[in-house]
């Protein structure tokens, strides 16, 4: 399994508590959580650490601030870092409080984020 079901369930529970209208989609070798047809966050197992890693879509300002913290790295899915996307290592979202923090940052940015173009 490319992710830990316990982590996916933790994300579901927090999003439900926040009243987010979300759905899940298999992407990036893990599970992506979508809100308003836009990527909110994703979770998958890190190949190196073998632990869950959270991918967050944040505002450019929030992502710059986040990158100053331990356990946060730029997302470089294609070999080039993508602005506003970060990876959060498992230790940085181990507590419910920490996971809630990251998900709230994602939810705060979601209404401002652009949706990807639909395939024709």
**Does 118 reside within a domain?**
no
CB 45 within 8 A of CB 2: yes
- Residue-number span of the structural domain to which 96 is assigned: 5-112
Q: Return per-residue pLDDT of the chain as tens, 120 residues.
A: 588 899 999 999 999 999 999 999 998 788 999 999 999 999 999 888 899 999 999 999 999 999 999 999 998 867 777 889 999 999 999 999 999 999 999 999 999 998 876 644
**Does 27 reside within a domain?**
yes
Residue 77's φ and ψ, nearest 5 degrees, are -55, -35
Which letter does DSSP use for residue 90 in this model?
G
> Taking every pair of C-alpha atoms in the chain, what is the biggest distance, in angstroms?
41
pTM recorded for the entire structure = 0.91
Query: Tokens 């994602």 label which residue?
Result: 106
* CATH number for the domain that contains residue 15: 3.90.1150.30
- The whole-number pLDDT of residue 119 equals 45
**Does 119 reside within a domain?**
no
Question: Considering its fold, how many domains does the chain have in total?
Answer: 1
**Does 94 reside within a domain?**
yes
Query: Tokens 């759905």 label which residue?
Result: 23
- The whole-number pLDDT of residue 120 equals 44
Candidates 100, 58, 90, 92; CA nearest to 75 is: 58
**Does 77 reside within a domain?**
yes
**Does 120 reside within a domain?**
no
**Does 117 reside within a domain?**
no
- The whole-number pLDDT of residue 1 equals 54
CA dihedral 16, 23, 4, 114 (to 10 degrees): -100
């Amino acid at each position: 399994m490319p992710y830990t079901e316990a982590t996916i369930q933790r994300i579901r529970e927090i999003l439900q508590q926040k009243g987010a209208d979300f759905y899940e989609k298999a992407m990036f070798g893990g599970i992506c959580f979508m809100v308003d047809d836009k990527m909110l966050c994703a979770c998958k197992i890190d190949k190196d650490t073998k632990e869950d890693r959270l991918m967050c879509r944040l505002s450019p300002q929030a992502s710059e601030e986040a990158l100053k913290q331990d356990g946060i790295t730029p997302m470089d899915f294609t070999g080039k870092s993508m602005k506003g996307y970060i990876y959060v290592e498992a230790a940085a979202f181990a507590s419910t409080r920490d996971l809630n923090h990251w998900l709230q940052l994602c939810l705060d940015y979601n209404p401002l984020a652009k949706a990807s173009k639909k395939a024709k």
